């Protein structure tokens, strides 16, 4: 029993890491620009598919990096061509627009890669084994590589937001974009860059998830709603909100597997309901943002 | 200000449009496009398509009571469609399941209006619970995200509670009801199902019209334009928002009830984000600021879907692209464009549709929920 619980906790941490990456990307975009990107799930899915297609040709590690960068560039083009036209209108319209484009992205994936799940090629040898500590065996990819990568990326993003000039501009822009613009910062360029960063994180999470989860076209809508839940639980626009929200939902929904398997999908929503009752802004949420 | 309301003319127009619907659907006698080939008498398929359109028109109309008229975007209204449908299916077919250790069984009954009462009872309870939980705690995009998550709860329950709902496969072989005063097998015919649907949808549309043109409807419009000012005028804004949510949930519930009798089967997809999104897309394509907009949108959606799906299996991409185009270029939808044509004439209307400035100017606000001011 103890063994099962440990297993599920580690599964939950793996899942939580991916939630964190996806939710952080969404959160950065939402916090700075007030754009709620429903296509974020599609970017996650595209990341997985692109990594799957590239892996046999360029090798495992470059495929992850290239997929993430590719999705980041896609996000920048997406912002510059479409999302930009909605600034100054109600934020709801960005949700509507990105819902429409998500349909397009999903059909593109179905056209290119087909309707059925695709199987990721085998991992390189050094990642496919497992490490044994005492009675427990930890798969290297899921429990070591993926978690390590996520923590490293989180550290970089944290540094970028909190310790660089760009971060100062982003954080100031979250409070008052107009004022920052008046100070001589090229905000439209900044918005594009931030959208690119958010999409990069979604693509990266997708590429990292590709070897672990089934890659199917319905991945996009499954993940985007859970990402919304993570953001609501953690608090809109908050770095640590995404981290804590992602971990809580990842671990608790994995543990639900032991308690009552049919309710696994409901766990996140139950937590969201509780958070709404006791702290409607989310754990680290700021009052009055996007009311 | 909106033009003077002319209820009888509007409702008469809607009734005539309902009657003509099977003829103008793709391939119908009055169809203007030569894709499917016009023919008479009508094939059952055209009539079924018209029935589908009417049911979704009602679904979208209910959704738009909230989005277009109260200014709140719910992205989860399919949950009420699904609950109405499952309520009806279980009432008709009966069920036999365990709730924990408790054995619950019901033999089923074929009373159409009994099923409607049960379905709407379930819909009302859930809508009231959701509204009471989220309305005081959220607004704006937060509200949209949370309604989306709540819809996923219903989807997940209908998907995983196999004993009750049949799981992924859903419930099949649901008998159509016997209507009082009509032969027992009256509803077995596609044309009769269409007539039954059209009558019910028309009554519901009239009810919706009455709600929106009552004092209650005016308060909703005030809330859409400016919550704070509506509050200052002494209206309990949150109470009105809760009531609007519950009322707008009833129409998708009725649509779900009709859908089960029409399809004779139901599965969890009815509560999926796809279905919620359809109501959103239909409303916006038709025009969220007007009463008839969502119904026009339902027609356009099914017309387009039917034409494109004949050409490619990737038809959702076309609908998504058309929708995205409308969101960016003409958020007032088809009815919005028609209104501009009537008010400003052709040249100005075209310029307005494509002008960036017009979309930001709040004089569109007399028909659209635009930027909330004063907050």
Tokens of B125: 């309870």
* Position B375 pLDDT exceeds 50: no
B374: confidence class by pLDDT, cuts 50, 70, 90: very low
pTM of the model: 0.91
Instruction: Give B76-133 pLDDT, tens digit per residue.
Output: 999 999 999 999 999 998 888 888 788 888 887 888 899 999 999 999 999 999 999 9
Biggest alpha carbon distance in chain A?
61
Q: Measured between CB atoms, which of A96, A106, A291 is closest to B280? A: A96
**Contact: B152, A110; criterion CB under 8 Å:** no
Chain A interface includes B43 (CB < 8 A): no
Q: What is the pLDDT of residues A63-83, one digit of tens each?
A: 999 999 999 999 999 999 999
Mean predicted confidence (pLDDT) in B36-54: 74
Q: What CATH code is assigned to B7-329?
A: 1.10.3470
Question: Quick check: is A12 in a domain?
Answer: yes
- Please answer yes or no on whether A100 and B149 come within 8 Å at the CB atom: no
pLDDT at B240 over 70: yes
Residue B355 scores a pLDDT above 80: no
The yes-or-no verdict on residue A87 having pLDDT over 60 is yes
Q: Is the dihedral of CA A93, A96, A97, A102 positive or negative?
A: positive
Mean of all residue pLDDT scores within chain B: 86
B306 CA to chain A: closest CA distance, Å? 17
Query: pLDDT grade, residue B28 (50/70/90)?
Result: low
Distance of CA A216 to the CA centre of its chain: 17
pLDDT score for B67: 93
Which pLDDT belongs to residue B368? 44
**Residues of chain B with C-beta less than 8 angstroms from the C-beta of A266:** 153, 156-157
The predicted structure's pLDDT at residue B348: 79
A–B interface: beta-carbon pairs under 8 A: 128
CB atoms within 10 A of CB A258: 13
Q: Name which of B141, B321, B359 is nearest A92 (Cβ-Cβ).
A: B141
Cβ neighbours of residue B150 closer than 8 Å, sequence gap 6 or more: A269, B76, B79, B130, B134
A290 has a pLDDT exceeding 60: no
| Minimum distance, in Å, between the CA of residue A225 and any CA atom of chain B | 6
Q: What is the pLDDT of residue B1?
A: 42
Across the interface, of A34, A97, A228, the residue whose CB is closest to B148 is A228
B40 to A1, A282, B304: CA distances (angstroms): 69, 60, 22
pLDDT at A33 (0 to 100): 82
Query: Does some domain include residue A124?
Result: yes
Reported ipTM = 0.91
Pairwise CB contact (< 8 Å): B156 & A100: no
B281 touches chain A (CB under 8 A): yes
Out of B273, B327, B375, the one facing A93 most closely (by C-beta) is: B327
Instruction: Give the gyration radius of chain A's Cα atoms.
Output: 19
B97 and A CB contact within 8 Å: no
Given a cut of 80, whether residue B373 has pLDDT beyond it is no
Q: Hey, is the C-beta of A194 within 8 angstroms of any chain B C-beta?
A: no
The domain locations on chain B are 7-329
- The reported pLDDT for the residue numbered B142 is 87
Percent of chain B with pLDDT over 70: 88
> What is the tens place of the pLDDT at every residue in A13-53?
999 999 999 999 999 898 888 889 999 999 999 999 999 99
Q: Which residues of B touch A229 (CB under 8 A)?
A: 149
Give me the percent of chain B exceeding a pLDDT of 90.
Answer: 54
Q: Which of residues 55-84 of A touch B (CB under 8 A)?
A: 82
Contact B145 A82 (CB under 8 A): no
Please give the average per-residue pLDDT across B227-234, as a whole number: 92
Cα–Cα distance measured from residue A280 to residue B138, given in angstroms and rounded to the nearest whole number: 8
First to last CA, chain A: 45
Greater model confidence, A158 or A133: A158
pLDDT at B358: 53
- CB-based contact (8 Å) between A286 and chain B? no
B192 in Cβ contact with B51 (< 8 Å): no
Residue A157 lies in a domain: yes
CB pair distance less than 8 Å for B142 and A232 = yes
pLDDT of B242-293, one tens digit each?
999 999 999 999 999 999 999 999 999 999 999 999 999 999 999 988 899 9
B142 at interface of A, judged by CB pairs closer than 8 A? yes
Q: Helix (H, G, I), strand (E, B), or coil: what is residue B104? A: strand
Nearest chain A residue to B327 by CA distance is: A97
**Phi and psi angles of residue B179, each rounded to the nearest 5 degrees, phi first:** -90, 140
Binary contact (A290, B273; C-beta < 8 A): no
C-alpha to C-alpha distance for A226 and A253, rounded to whole angstroms: 11
Residue A179 CA: distances (Å) to CA of A173, A174, A182, B360: 8, 11, 5, 20
Q: What pLDDT shows up at residue A66?
A: 96
Each residue of B180-204: pLDDT tens digit?
888 888 888 888 999 999 999 999 9
Question: Looking at the 3D structure of chain A, how many domains does it have?
Answer: 1
Nearest CA in chain A to B316: A103
Q: What sign does the CA torsion over B299, B304, B306, B309 have? A: negative
Give me the domain span that covers residue A75: 2-216
């Amino acid at each position: 029993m103890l063994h099962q619980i440990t297993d599920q906790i580690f599964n939950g941490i793996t899942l939580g890491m991916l939630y964190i990456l996806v939710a952080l990307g969404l959160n950065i975009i939402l916090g700075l620009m007030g754009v709620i990107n429903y296509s974020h799930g599609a970017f996650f899915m595209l990341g997985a598919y692109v990594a799957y297609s590239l892996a046999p040709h360029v090798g495992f590690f470059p495929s992850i990096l290239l997929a993430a960068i590719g999705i980041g560039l896609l996000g920048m083009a997406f912002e510059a061509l479409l999302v930009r036209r909605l600034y100054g209108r109600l934020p709801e319209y960005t949700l509507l627009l990105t819902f429409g484009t998500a349909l397009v992205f999903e059909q593109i994936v179905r056209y290119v890669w087909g309707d059925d799940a695709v199987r990721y090629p085998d991992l390189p040898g050094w990642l496919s084994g497992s490490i044994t500590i005492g009675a427990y065996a930890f798969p290297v990819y899921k429990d070591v590589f993926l978690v390590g990568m996520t923590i490293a990326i989180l550290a970089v993003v944290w540094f970028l937001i909190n310790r660089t000039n760009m971060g100062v501009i982003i954080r100031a822009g979250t409070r008052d974009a107009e004022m920052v613009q008046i100070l001589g910062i090229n905000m439209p360029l900044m918005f594009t860059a931030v959208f690119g960063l958010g999409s990069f994180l979604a693509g990266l999470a997708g590429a990292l998830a590709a070897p672990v989860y089934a890659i199917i076209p319905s991945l996009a809508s499954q993940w985007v709603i859970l990402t919304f839940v993570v953001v609501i639980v953690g608090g809109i626009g908050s770095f640590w909100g995404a981290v804590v929200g992602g971990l809580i939902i990842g671990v608790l929904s994995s543990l639900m597997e032991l308690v009552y398997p049919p309710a696994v999908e409901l766990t996140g929503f139950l937590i969201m309901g509780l958070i709404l009752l006791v702290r409607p802004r989310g754990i680290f949420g700021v009052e009055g943002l996007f009311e | 200000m909106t033009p003077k309301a002319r209820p009888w003319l509007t409702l008469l127009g809607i009734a005539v449009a309902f009657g003509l619907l099977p003829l103008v659907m793709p391939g119908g006698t009055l169809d203007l496009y030569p894709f499917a080939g016009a023919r008479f008498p009508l094939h059952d398929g055209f009539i079924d398509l018209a029935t589908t359109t009417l049911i979704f028109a009602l679904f979208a109309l209910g959704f738009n009571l909230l989005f277009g008229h109260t200014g709140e975007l719910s992205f989860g209204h399919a949950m009420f469609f699904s609950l109405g449908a499952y309520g009806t299916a279980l009432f008709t077919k009966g069920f036999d399941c365990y709730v924990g250790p408790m054995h619950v069984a019901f033999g089923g009954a074929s009373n159409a209006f009994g099923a409607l009462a049960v379905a709407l009872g379930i819909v009302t309870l859930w809508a009231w619970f959701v509204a009471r939980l989220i309305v005081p705690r959220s607004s704006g995009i937060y509200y949209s995200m949370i309604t989306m998550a709540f819809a996923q709860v219903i989807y997940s329950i209908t998907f995983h509670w196999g004993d009750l709902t049949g799981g992924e496969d859903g419930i099949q072989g649901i008998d159509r009801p016997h209507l009082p005063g009509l032969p027992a097998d009256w509803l077995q015919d596609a044309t009769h199902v269409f007539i039954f649907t059209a009558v019910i949808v028309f009554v519901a549309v009239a009810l919706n019209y009455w709600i929106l043109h009552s004092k209650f409807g005016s308060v909703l419009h005030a809330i859409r334009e400016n919550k704070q000012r509506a509050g200052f005028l002494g209206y309990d804004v949150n109470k009105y928002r809760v009531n609007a949510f519950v009322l707008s949930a009833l129409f998708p519930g009725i649509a779900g009830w009709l859908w089960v009798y029409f399809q004779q089967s139901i599965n969890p997809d009815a509560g999926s984000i796809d279905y919620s999104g359809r109501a959103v897309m239909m409303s916006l394509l038709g025009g969220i600021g007007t009463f008839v907009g969502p119904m026009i949108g339902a027609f356009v959606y099914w017309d387009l879907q039917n034409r494109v799906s004949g050409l490619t299996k990737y038809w959702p991409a076309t609908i998504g692209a058309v929708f995205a185009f409308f969101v960016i270029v003409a958020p007032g939808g088809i009815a919005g464009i028609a209104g501009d044509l009537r008010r400003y004439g052709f040249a100005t209307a075209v310029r307005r549709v494509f002008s960036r400035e017009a979309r930001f100017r709040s004089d569109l606000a007399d028909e659209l929920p635009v930027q909330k001011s004063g907050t």
